[in-house]
Chains A and B, each alone.
Chain A
Amino acid sequence: MIFRTCMGFIHNSDDAEDLTQEVFIQAYKSLSKFRQESSFSTWLYRIAVNASLNKVRRNSGNFITRHIGEFFRSDEVKVPDKVAANEENPESIMIQDEHRAWVQKALDSLPENQRTAIVLSKYDDLSQKEIANIMNTTEGAVEALIQRAKANLRLRLAAGLKKRDK
């Protein structure tokens, strides 16, 4: 579950694995701070979200690291099963890669709270109540965040599609 959350923020399995490891070590070190006011999974999710956001901030702040990372990532994109089995032609593989890049870029450009809400909802399939507990807010606020995130995603993806059609 933590790996998926990290994937939602980072979009790279190697980095997500390192981050998952970091999350568990951090949780282990801070076990004494866990006051049982929330469930253990909620607490763990909070650590994962904070660690992911910190990682994203570090990456976006460092121009050189980001570009080096993108350079290596393009070679290392995980191949979906269909593609690996050669069931699709190279053109559709290219279109899928392009779509993946757009969606990741659109997700990455969302404000942090919208991004957190949509990642926990879409990647971890958590209910609005669970997300509200993790984000320390109300269910109504989470619903609003998810709606705004979807609207923003739609706008950003539409802009990407229009650019391609031109």
Chain B
Amino acid sequence: MNCKICQEEIDKYLEGSLPPGSRQQFEQHLEICEECSEKLRILKVADIVISEEKRIESNPFLSARIMAILEGGELKKSASIFDTVTGRIIKPALIGVVIAISVFLGVGIGNLDNSEYLFRQVPDEITYIDDAEIESLYIYLTE
């Protein structure tokens, strides 16, 4: 057996459907050909991983859950406003409005707080300053 035939027969060998004579020739070739035995090893690894994944069972309650959804009102709920075409427009619009209101309120509250803070920082002397008492610059200019 050569490498080309070995490659063609590799799947049958893995499935166990290779006739005994060919199987023996195949195994003899594997003993002398490192490349083919490496390819077989790789495919065996893939087969093991796939069969492991196949052994994983779904949750025993999955079918009951699906049946409950199909029979009950949850299906109606899932087909609510957000699943409809209008919902696809309304949903982002609502999110936009909520963000805009949040920003507006945030800025408003922030400014409110800020003005109080500034007001608190102004000393009384400056707040009640009387401009009439300030010495006029005219006196200095004329002197």
The complex places the Cα of A17 from the Cα of B53 at a distance, in Å, of 14
B45 to chain A, nearest CB (A): 5
Does B48 lie at the interface of the complex (its beta carbon under 8 Å from any beta carbon of A)? yes
- Using C-beta atoms within 8 Å of the partner chain, give the interface range for chain A: 20 to 34
Evaluate contact between B62 and A99: CB separation under 8 angstroms. no
Evaluate contact between B58 and A16: CB separation under 8 angstroms. yes
Evaluate contact between A17 and B49: CB separation under 8 angstroms. no
Contacting B at CB under 8 A, from A95-154, are 96, 99-100, 102-104, 106, 122-123, 150, 153-154
Evaluate contact between A17 and B62: CB separation under 8 angstroms. yes
Evaluate contact between B66 and A103: CB separation under 8 angstroms. no
Evaluate contact between B54 and A24: CB separation under 8 angstroms. no
Does A43 lie at the interface of the complex (its beta carbon under 8 Å from any beta carbon of B)? no
B38, B46, B75: the one contacting A103 at CB < 8 Å is: B46
- For B56, what are the chain A residues with a Cβ–Cβ distance below 8 Å? 7, 13, 78
Evaluate contact between B62 and A20: CB separation under 8 angstroms. yes
- For A123, what are the chain B residues with a Cβ–Cβ distance below 8 Å? 50, 53-54
Q: Which residues of A contact B (CB under 8 A)?
A: 3-4, 7-8, 11, 13, 16-17, 20-21, 24-25, 28-29, 78, 80-81, 96, 99-100, 102-104, 106, 122-123, 150, 153-154, 157-158, 161
The 6 lowest CB-CB distance pairs between A and B, nearest first, are: A103-B49, A3-B58, A157-B42, A24-B66, A103-B46, A99-B45
